[in-house]
Structure 1
Amino acid sequence: MFGTGGGLFEYRASLLAGHGFTVLALAYYAVEDFPKDMKELRLEYFEEAVQYLKNYSQVKGRGVGLLGFYKGGDLCLSMASHLKDITATVTLNGSMANVGSTLYYKGMTIPPLGSDPKRIEMTKIGFADIVDALNNPLEEPNQRSLIPIEKAESCFLFLIGLDDHNWKSEFYANKVAKLLQAYGKKKPKIICYPATRHYIEPPYFPVCLVSFHTLVGKLVIWEGEVSAHSMAQIDAWKQL
């Protein structure tokens, strides 16, 4: 599952399928008859997708794995926390809180983590740096947006770019790790890549320097260093 850009992107699913995985590339807004925005999402939709894949004839074993990027990362954490049959979860530069949309599930509501546009800085050439824009999810009243990851039975892998300027991915991953261990769960594997930005693509894909952020409404910088980021993309693919 991808992030706030919406739509359906199948290239990573296709690459995994080429290695023998049964993969479902899951869109959740801004494609065909889906909503044009993601102001509201319902976890029942994602639950249906899990069961569809689990019951598919080519899927073996007792559960399925999740792979999420950016907004897709926190959706994966929400799925692992609330749904059955999730045995492995990989996120790339994800959040520990629900971001960008209100999430509903069986009478439960998780509001999106708030932000402060005043904390957005503009570069000299007019791009936005949003790394400090989101509120701290560990402070009140922002804790209502925290994903109850302590409920999850999945194993976890967090792939982190240490120069991610979308949000504080390393901070989130380390806090999730401490929370899981506090509840007696297995420590997740966290792999951090120096000088690596937000969009960690498959190996040899172009490095994204700047792109339009749907929720911010501006061109946003992702920082990082091209050579280091390119090497991170090679290793991250092997790890996931």
Structure 2
Amino acid sequence: MALAYHGYQDLPKVLRKLDLEYLEEAVAFLRAHPKVKGPGIGILSISKSGDLALAMSAFLPGISATVSINGSNGATVCPIHYKGMVIPPLNIDTGKIILRKDGLLDIRDGLLDPMLEENRNSVIPIERAGCHFLFVAAEDDRNWNSLLFSEQAAQRLRDHGKDNYELVRYPKAGHFLDVPYMPHCPSSFHPAVGAVVVLGGEPQAHAEAQVDLWKRVQQFFRRHL
């Protein structure tokens, strides 16, 4: 099941906020489906949807395994709402966005460190989660510093006495780690930025990472679902 959360049919064209209740309906739907073994379900997320997956894991029941591929450990782009609680998005410093000689934007350092004092309220309390996590970080991700975010997420769990996670790093891989044999995407139009941005990655290393990761994702879900 792939779940759209904006820009599709009657969903908002522009993402102003995201209500976890909408995602909670999807969890309930899957858990009640006759072809779903249960009792819990798995979430596979990439990029922006990573923070939504972590928030679902922290606040919603019935999630057993969560994969975050190059996601953030804090809310991004818009606030996340759930039953009166609001997690604000991480702050951005546009002064750290670089216009390269080839005309592409490098926005990697635009999203500020979630551990900065001004960003602490944006960090998702994943220590509340009862599921297992697979954090995936491409070390040449130019969309944002997903390695930093993944390491901080893992550290947060350790700080709370938890070891319910795995962290996988892929040197020389870029942002969009897709299913195997999909073309490497070194740059793309970024709807939140309104311009073409560089996404990073060397073609061969990126392709090899996609093959390896797909196997790891399947093994992870078989182990925890």
TM-score in terms of structure 2 length = 0.94
60, 67, 74: which one pairs with 1:83? 60
Give per-residue Cα distances to partners, 1:68-124, cap 9 Å, x unaligned.
110111100000000001100001100000000111100001111110111100110
76, 80, 105: which one pairs with 2:82? 105
Shift, 1:187, TM fit:
4.2
Percentage identity across paired residues of the two chains = 44
Distance 2:190 2:38 in 1: 38
132, 135, 138: which one pairs with 2:115? 138
34, 42, 47: which one pairs with 1:70? 47
- Which residue of 2 is the match for residue 15 of structure 1? none
Distance 1:188 1:134 in 2: 24
For the aligned residue pairs, the C-alpha RMSD in angstroms reads 0.8
Distance 1:103 1:151 in 2: 16
Give per-residue Cα distances to partners, 1:151-193, cap 9 Å, x unaligned.
0111011121110011111111111111112212224111111
170, 174, 183: which one pairs with 2:147? 170
Shift, 1:61, TM fit:
2.5
Report the residue type matching 1:178 in the other structure. Q
- Which residue of 2 is the match for residue 126 of structure 1? 103
224, 231, 237: which one pairs with 2:201? 224
Distance 1:115 1:171 in 2: 16
What SS is found at the alignment partner of 1:48? helix
**What does 1:200-239 align with in structure 2 at a 5 Å threshold?**
200-239=177-216
- Which residue of 1 is the match for residue 131 of structure 2? 154
151, 155, 169: which one pairs with 1:192? 169
Give per-residue Cα distances to partners, 1:183-210, cap 9 Å, x unaligned.
1222411111110000001111011011
Report the residue type matching 1:31 in the other structure. Y
What SS is found at the alignment partner of 2:204? helix
Distance 1:137 1:178 in 2: 13
Distance 1:203 1:78 in 2: 27
Determine whether 1:36 maps to 2:10.
no
Q: Structure 1: give runs of 5+ residues left out of the alignment.
A: 1-23
Report the residue type matching 1:231 in the other structure. E
Q: Figure out how many residues of one structure are paired with residues of the other and give that number.
A: 217
What SS is found at the alignment partner of 2:124? coil
- Which residue of 2 is the match for residue 5 of structure 1? none
Distance 1:187 1:174 in 2: 14
What SS is found at the alignment partner of 2:133? strand
